[in-house]
A and B are shown apart, each in its own frame.
Chain A
Amino acid sequence: MLTAALRKELLLQWRTRSQMMAVFVFGATSLLLFSFAIGPNAEMLRTFSSGFLWLGLLLSSTLTLAESFHTEMENRAFEGLLLLPSDARALYYGKAIANWLQLTLLGCALVPVMVILYDAGTTALLKLLVIIMLGAAGLSAPGTLYAGITSQVKAKQMLLPLLLFPLIVPALLASVKATSLVILGDPMGQSKAWITLLGAFDLIYWSLCGLLFGRVVED
């Protein structure tokens, strides 16, 4: 069941990949705009680069998360799957994993933008990838759940960020901090603690949201 759900999600994402391009441009533009808030101070830009990267990714995530349910709701396709019957939990994890992959890809795509705009490069690419993956997972789990709720409600565009943003504060903090240590240097070896925090957040919310999703999509 999970493989069936995941296959469908990946197929849908592949078919709508042109939208991904638009979301990337949105993210890159956000990073550009953030740099205007600082001005041409190379030192400061570099210091805050990780924060901007993650803010840009967070803002972009509201687009991709909302879109992941748009295709499900326009013809009630999701209900159609539930009535086959399908296990709501499997459908949730399929979608959450697909969203996670998409956000990881987006995060990686924004890294070169960050390097160019903020002169924030690093050689510890593997570590950066791990952080991006964990951070994206932290956004994807609650984001998929809340997108599932808000896609069925009137003011969907407004509600998703309002519900999601306060919730992911710990994941945001940990991701920004860990990324910052990778870029600016980590003399005291603190990044491990932040990565652990991120991992714990992911574990808690991937379990909790999966448990609750069934109630959210059934009448």
Chain B
Amino acid sequence: MTDVSIDVQGVARRYGRRWALAGVTFGVPAGTVVMVAGRNGAGKSTLFRVLATAIRPDRGTATIGGFDVVKHRQDVRRMTAILSHANYLYDALSAKENLHIVADHLGVSRGGVMGILEQVGLASRADDVVATFSAGMRKRLSFGRILLQDPKVVLLDEPYGALDPAGFDLVDEVIRELKRRGATIMMATHQWERSAALSDAALVLEAGKIVFEGPADQVASC
């Protein structure tokens, strides 16, 4: 079983003169689920984007499974999937076509696509164009993208956002499924109680720094 732990050392990232991340250091053991809490603008999305190699850190280093996010980008990307605020979808294409494209680029068969659409509850809308989808449906399709990638490390940025109660259950289900597959999961969320039930540990970010690191059920009190 490959090492899929996450190790972050003093990572900082600026936008102009503002430091969105101002030196964060933490580790996530392989196969665990870590909840990341924090106010809007605390740096959660920036942290995830650095780990997903979408952006580089200005300071510090981060490794996933031993691979550096800057020097071994492609290796990190092969292991990692991110559920981002942007849904990475083509509005002009159908749900099925969007997943076909992902399958083609991953080099996997298109055969599993319908199964995944069923899993995320979009089978009945498979041939509908994404432009007609609600925000919640797009989120479900984004989950479909992740399942198709079968990643070892999953970064979920506000997975519960825009979903209905059935969607919430779907998210929990997906997280449990990924956990079963041995993935390492980090999720940024405001749904503390719900996520705490699934998480092994928690981090709280404030103004780009970690202000709490510990058991997930203590987050609400800090």
Interface residues of A (CB under 8 A from B): 1, 3-5, 7-8, 11-12, 15-16, 71, 74-77, 79-86, 218-219
Contact = CB atoms under 8 A, between A and B. Distances in A.
Contacts of A81: 88, 101, 105
A31 to B, nearest CB: 29
B86 interface: yes
B90 interface: yes
A7 B98 CA distance: 12
B145 A80 contact: yes
Interface string B80-94: 111010111111110
B93 A79 contact: no
A80 B88 contact: yes
Contacts of B90: 12, 71, 75, 77
Contacts of A71: 90-92
Interface residues of B, number: 30
A84 B92 contact: no
Given A76-B86, A80-B145, A219-B54, A86 B91 contact: no
B77 A83 contact: yes
B89 A84 contact: no
A83 B101 contact: no
B54 A79 contact: yes
22 contacts: A11-B93, A11-B97, A11-B101, A12-B90, A12-B92, A15-B93, A71-B90, A71-B92, A75-B86, A75-B87, A75-B89, A76-B84, A76-B88, A77-B89, A79-B88, A80-B88, A80-B145, A83-B52, A83-B53, A84-B102, A85-B77, A86-B105
